[in-house]
Amino acid sequence: MGNVVVVGSQWGDEGKGKIVDWLSSRADVVVRFQGGHNAGHTLVVDGTTYKLSLLPSGIVRGSKMSVIGNGVVIDPWALKSEIKRIRDQGVHIGPDALLISDTASLILPIHGELDAIRENRADGVKIGTTRRGIGPAYEDKVARRAIRVCDLADESHLRERVDNLLHHHNALRIGLGHDAVDAAQLTQKLLDIAPSVLQFAGPVWHHLDEASRAEKKILFEGAQGAMLDIDHGTYPFVTSSNTIAGQAAAGSGMGPRALNYVLGITKAYTTRVGEGPFPTELHDEIGQRLGERGHEFGTVTGRQRRCGWFDAVMVRQAIITGGIDGIALTKLDVLDGLAELKICTGYKLNGKIIRRFPAGMSNQAAVTPIYETMPGWSGSTQGARSWAELPAEAVKYVRRLEEATGCPVAVLSTSPEREDVILIRDPFKG
């Protein structure tokens, strides 16, 4: 039995919630290691729907330890209200159930404001962010001026940290035509919220080391997807963290050998929210149909997701950069009833055929997909729990995705219900 990392292999929203929930029911510890409350995971447990943004999915299953690692950026006010909302649904959340890294960086109101100021600029590059302040918070972390969870426990130190932070931010705000922020007021706001966070704070790396020595099963829960990774994604139309599995180690304080199996959640077609290149995007009635049948609306922002054909070139790249061992294929049933299906297996760029997604922004926007066409199926895949229940064309489609991406399907999900899964390989058994 080893530890499992679950990551998205496309642009997020691959349906991680259901798979993570299914795996977390078998894990002892569930760890978030990057991102923040830009993520949105919907879990349906025993008929109750839980919407989580920052809290690890294990929280809704009693007797698990849920951990927010140092790689996550935490908005303390959003955390407090999410804890209240989930507690109101009858879930116990105490320091025995939730541990937050004392070295995680905080998202402050100035970060959300700066995110919105940039996104609202008429002449700038619009990323289409979730406006949660994720990017500006990570900028401050890397620039070594962030306020971290541990700073909340020391008032005089906190005042110094806030002064240092505002030295930078107020110059920026005034330059952008906005009011300066009062240091005393911001410090007080932080002191007021501090107990809500500090009651859960501790050395995550130490706890995970102990859990590991006690042979507990650890599930690392990624957010967003490989193509939104700050290094390997469609830069600059990405989120501000590393979303690939390697970050599970750095973002939690465990060594890379603790990551035994990487499961890449992969949708049977492609979606994206926000701006940026999307070679296989469909602007026709098929794209609309995928969006409707797949309920493709963002959990966090409610925005409509862009939809398109499966892009095997991109997923193959995600598998390589992320070290994905097996795919959990989701939402196959959304393709039920389509006469034919297309899979992108290469691109054309300036008259040449390429098999990799290029690096530059203009080349990424200029590629056109090369498609393979496969017959669709008229039967239903919904709720199938064995290969024998799938139409032959659906099996062929899945097999072709495996070949084209170079990665086996370990889990096939055939409906939003937890039990509607075909398990080919148990990720916890490696």
User: How many Å from the N-terminal Cα to the C-terminal Cα in the chain?
Assistant: 7
Q: Toward ligand IMP, which CB reaches closer, 235 or 371?
A: 235
By CB under 6 A, tell whether 127 contacts ligand IMP: yes
Mapping DSSP onto H, E and C, the string for 114-133 reads: HHHHHHHCCCCCCCCCCCCC
Q: Which of 69, 76, 264, 274 binds ligand IMP (CB under 6 A)?
A: 274
- Look at residues 163, 155, 160 and name the one whose alpha carbon lies nearest to residue 183: 163
**Has 111 been annotated as catalytic?**
no
By CB under 6 A, tell whether 34 contacts ligand IMP: no
Catalytic annotation, pick one of 21, 28, 37, 41: 41
Minimum CB–partner distance for residue 53 and ligand IMP (Å): 9
Minimum CB–partner distance for residue 160 and ligand IMP (Å): 28
- Look at residues 423, 354, 429 and name the one whose alpha carbon lies nearest to residue 385: 423
The piece of 36-44, 146-154, 188-196, 261-269 that touches ligand IMP (CB under 6 A) is 36-44
Query: By beta-carbon distance, which residue lies closest to ligand IMP?
Result: 274
Q: Toward ligand IMP, which CB reaches closer, 101 or 224?
A: 224
By CB under 6 A, tell whether 140 contacts ligand IMP: no
Query: In the numeric block, which tokens belong to residue 25?
Result: 């029911």
By CB under 6 A, tell whether 286 contacts ligand IMP: no
Q: Toward ligand IMP, which CB reaches closer, 86 or 228?
A: 228
The piece of 20-28, 123-131, 356-364, 382-390 that touches ligand IMP (CB under 6 A) is 123-131
Q: Toward ligand IMP, which CB reaches closer, 76 or 136?
A: 136
Distance CA 217, CA 24 (A): 9
List the interface residues with ligand IMP, window 216-235 (CB under 6 A): 223-224, 228
Query: CB neighbours of 193 closer than 8 A, spacing ≥ 6?
Result: 76, 77, 80, 152
Q: Which of 24, 240, 242, 364 binds ligand IMP (CB under 6 A)?
A: 240
- Look at residues 4, 10, 3 and name the one whose alpha carbon lies nearest to residue 330: 10
**Has 13 been annotated as catalytic?**
yes
Q: Toward ligand IMP, which CB reaches closer, 222 or 346?
A: 222
Query: CB neighbours of 202 closer than 8 A, spacing ≥ 6?
Result: 99, 100, 101, 102
The piece of 23-31, 129-137, 159-167, 366-374 that touches ligand IMP (CB under 6 A) is 129-137
CA dihedral 301, 6, 218, 247 (to 10 degrees): -80
The piece of 98-106, 125-133, 163-171, 176-184 that touches ligand IMP (CB under 6 A) is 125-133
* Three-class SS state of 173: helix
**DSSP string covering 312-355, please?**
HHHHHHHHHHHT--EEEEE-GGGGTT-SEEEEEEEEEETTEEES
The alpha carbons of the chain give a radius of gyration, in whole angstroms, of 22
CA dihedral 333, 305, 329, 41 (to 10 degrees): -110
By CB under 6 A, tell whether 128 contacts ligand IMP: yes
Asked whether 332 and 402 are in contact (CB, 8 A), the reply is: no
By CB under 6 A, tell whether 43 contacts ligand IMP: no
By CB under 6 A, tell whether 280 contacts ligand IMP: no
Q: Which of 3, 9, 24, 130 binds ligand IMP (CB under 6 A)?
A: 130
Q: Which of 15, 58, 76, 135 binds ligand IMP (CB under 6 A)?
A: 135
Q: Toward ligand IMP, which CB reaches closer, 265 or 394?
A: 265
Catalytic annotation, pick one of 13, 75, 102, 333: 13
Query: CB neighbours of 175 closer than 8 A, spacing ≥ 6?
Result: none
By CB under 6 A, tell whether 251 contacts ligand IMP: no
- Look at residues 243, 268, 260 and name the one whose alpha carbon lies nearest to residue 343: 268
Active-site residue list: 13, 41
Kindly list the residues in this chain that would bind ligand IMP in the complex (CB under 6 A).
11-13, 38-40, 127-130, 132, 134-135, 223-224, 228, 237, 239-240, 273-274
